[in-house]
Structures are given as C-alpha cells and as structure tokens.
Amino acid sequence: MPNSPAVRILSTMEDVWDAYREDLQEVEYQIRQRIHSEVPLINTVAMQILSSGGKRIRPLLLILCARLFGYPSKESLILGSLIEYIHTATLLHDDVLDEADLRRGKQTARQLWGNHASILVGDYLYSQAMHQIAAFHNHGFNEVLADACRKMAEGEVLQLCANHRSDITEPEYLQIIEYKTATLIAAACKIGAIIGGASPSEQAALYRFGMNLGMAFQLTDDLLDYEADGSRLGKPLGQDIRQGMITLPLLHLLKTGSPQDQQRIRTYLAAGSIGDFEMADIMAMLRQYDSLTYVLDRSREYVDAAQRVLDLIPVCSAKHSLAIVACFMIQRDQ
C-alpha cells in the first residue's frame, strides 16, 4: 500500500488532501448521488452550489475523526456528504440574506435563479440531510446535527441583531461565530467520532476539538476579508464591513484606537456606506493598531487549544493529519 495514509509521512495540508483523495472522491459521488429530488430545479440549483469548488473541510474532518477510532467506513463518507448538504443550505440562505452576487468568484444561486429558489433549495438540503441522517437509526447523529442547525440559526439571528452595532463586546462576537460557524464543524468531528466507535468522553473531546478549530476557521475568515485581494477570495475586499458586519479586527480597533480614530470609524459606520477612501483609512488603522495581528493571535490560541485536545488521543496517522488540518486553519489564504 504505497499510497496508504498509514505509511506516508504527511507534512502539509496538500499532503493530507492527497492522502484522502479517494475518500473525498467518494464523498463527491455521494453528494451527487443523494440529492435525487423529483424536482429538476432543486437538483440544478443544489448541484451548482455543491460543485462550485468548496474544499470539503467538514467531510475531511469527519472522516479523520472516524479513522482515529475505527477502520475506514463507507458510512463516514456518506455522513460527510450530508454534513456538506447542511453547510451548503446555510450558504444558500446566507447569500440571500447578504444580497451576495458572487461566491468563490462565480454568480450566486440567487443571481442565477432568484431568492425564492435559493431559500427553498436551502430548506430542501436541510431536510434531505436530516432525512438521510435519520435513516442511520443513530440517535447521536440526529441530536448532534439538529442541535448544530438550531445553533447556526441562533448565531445568524445574533449576528443580525449585532449588525451595524459598534458597541458589541468581544465575548458577544465570539458567541456569534461559535454558533454560526464552529458548531457545525464540531458536529462533523463528533459524528465522525461516533461512527468510529469512540467512547462518550472521546466524542466530547472531538467535539471540543472541532469547536476550537471552527473558531480559528472563522477568525481567519474575518482576517482574510481584510487581507485577500478580490480575485483570490472571489469577493471584494472589506465586504464584511461594507455590509455593516463588525468582526473582530474592527472590534479590536474600536477598543484600542485613539478616541479620534474610534470616532472616525464610528462616523464611517453610521454613514452606512464605506467607499474606497474610507476602506483605505480603515486598513491603515488596522495596521497601525496591530488589530490583524491581535486576531491572528486569538486564532492561534484556538488552534493550540485544539492541539491540546488531540494530545489525549493515541498516536496514529489520522491524528497526525488532524494536527496538520488544525495548523492549516490559520495558514489558509482562501
């Protein structure tokens, strides 16, 4: 088995993707296979967004967490595809809520087929995932996934309430991203652990691992919004703040900046439209007050916490891969 992940020494994220390529190809197959709505428009819309180049980080985590405890199983690949349905459902609803025109550089579903189709196909993907999960007859799966869905909706509403508010606190912000992003990643890890045969305490540990990873993932996303150029991320620089979303870099700036600088940012936010001039000024202040470094440091703390959870798990190739994935959370550039 020259290509088996068990013998190859992996050192980069590319190595990990390579090592689990076959598993992930099967996930892709399951994703295509399991949509099967009788309604052609649902298949079209769902497949457009499902095949638009997402990295499948959630299925990968699920597969790796399953392999920590057990042999490779087809079930983990099917469950990986269902986690991706849930994630995709949130993207479809998000794009409607954010009035987004582009996702990964391509037209969004709502641009191609309208808001109605996007909301409804999102509803379909949620319930198709819940239906297929139910067929496993595993209470843990149903509970973990429904809990994640509920928290994601709560996180989105919290974010809606926080929109345009420059006085939200860091703990409030962290709760939003925990709910809207980290819980689904935590759920993917826990479901992997369950199917792999982990004990309840191991399941709880992997849930914590995923939660920390998810926090780092979202904080990196917030950073990329201020760092990436439009072509790489497939969306314009500073899109969050232009939509009134105040993420951790800006919260740091609003706490540490001089009173005059804080006031200037509040004036920009209150005006409701951030032009290129205002954006350049904000970027300069973010650098001046080391706000991006602050967020990167916070993100690193979450990765460290995730690695400490892994310390509880016996050495194996899947554990090694999970450690690489954890580091990747703060190194990724898209």
Tell me which residues in 114-153 interact with its own copies (CB under 8 A): 116-117, 119-121, 123-124, 126-128, 130-131, 133-135, 137, 139, 142-143, 146-147, 149-150, 152-153
Dump the DSSP string for 20-74. Answer: THHHHHHHHHHHHHTT--SSHHHHHHHHHHHTS----HHHHHHHHHHHHHS---H
Q: How far is the CB of 40 from its own copies (least distance, A)?
A: 8
Q: Which 8-state DSSP code applies to residue 315?
A: P
Question: Closer to its own copies at the Cβ: 43 or 107?
Answer: 43
Is the Cβ–Cβ distance between 194 and 145 less than 8 Å?
Answer: no
Q: Which residues contact 231 (CB under 8 A, 6 or more apart)?
A: 105
Tell me which residues in 9-68 interact with its own copies (CB under 8 A): 37-39, 41-42
83 sits near its own copies (criterion: CB under 8 A): no
Return d(Cα 234, Cα 224) in angstroms, integer.
Answer: 11
> What tokens appear for 316 in the block?
């194996």
**Size of the chain, expressed as the number of residues it contains:** 334
Q: How far is the CB of 135 from its own copies (least distance, A)?
A: 7
Question: Closer to its own copies at the Cβ: 108 or 299?
Answer: 108
Return d(Cα 233, Cα 225) in angstroms, integer.
Answer: 8
Tell me which residues in 272-301 interact with its own copies (CB under 8 A): none
Tell me which residues in 161-200 interact with its own copies (CB under 8 A): 161
Question: Closer to its own copies at the Cβ: 96 or 100?
Answer: 96
325 sits near its own copies (criterion: CB under 8 A): no
Burial class of 160 by CB neighbour count within 10 A (0 to 12, 13 to 18, 19+) = exposed
Among 19, 60, 65, 96, binds its own copies (CB under 8 A): 96
Task: State the pairing for strand pair 102-103/106-107.
Answer: antiparallel
Q: How far is the CB of 106 from its own copies (least distance, A)?
A: 21
Q: How far is the CB of 95 from its own copies (least distance, A)?
A: 12
Q: Which 8-state DSSP code applies to residue 106?
A: E
Q: Where on the chain is the footprint of its own copies (CB under 8 A)?
A: 37-39, 41-42, 93, 96-97, 116-117, 119-121, 123-124, 126-128, 130-131, 133-135, 137, 139, 142-143, 146-147, 149-150, 152-154, 156-158, 160-161
